Amino acid sequence: MRTLIIEKLTRESFEPFGDVVQTEGAKHFMINDGTTERFHDLARVETDGGRTLINLFRSQPRQLPFTVTMLERHPLGSQAFIPLTGTPYLIVAAPAGKLDPSQVRAFVSDGWQGVNYAPGVWHHPLMALERVSEFIVVDRGGDGHNCDEQVLAEPLWLMQEALEEARAEARV
């Protein structure tokens, strides 16, 4: 069983899977007579003929070590997770296309960074850490099958030690 290295979540490291939703480095400007700062166009929402849904997910915390046994994907639209609680969480993703377990990567969010998976990107369901965490989730509704799940032939490990190393590096 392969242990995944947990990486710091950055726009560059996550680029093969979609967008990191964060204010740092984002285009921004003042609106509403200078009372509101708008961080503009943080992620590309794609719905391929469906309609855009805005949801609230409440995720129970996962304990490490954790065994990743499956991944899912949404072929007809993007799926964004925007944290509301400021608590770090884990992201596991693999590029769109045929699932290649050797391409699976793990990331830790600082708790304020969201992610937007591009259509067809393989990912694990939400993995909150430490406490119950809430997320705004933007994804596709409407007709058509839009969720594929695949069980991994060989499970992958997420270890506490790897998380601690990533947090030390990122100061998360």
CA 56 to CA 49: how far, in whole Å? 22
pLDDT tens digits for range 94-105: 999 999 999 999
26-77: pLDDT as tens digits: 999 999 999 999 999 999 999 988 999 999 999 999 999 999 999 999 999 9
pLDDT on residue 170: 67
The Cα-based distances of 14 to 18, 33, 135, 145, 147 in angstroms read: 6, 35, 19, 26, 21
- Range of 117's domain? 2-170
Number of structural domains in the chain:
1
Cα separation, 121 vs 95, whole angstroms: 5
Give the CATH number of the domain where residue 139 resides.
Answer: 2.60.120.480
pTM of the model: 0.92
Contact 116, 136 (CB under 8 A): no
How confident is the model over 117-137, as pLDDT tens digits? Answer: 999 999 999 999 999 999 999
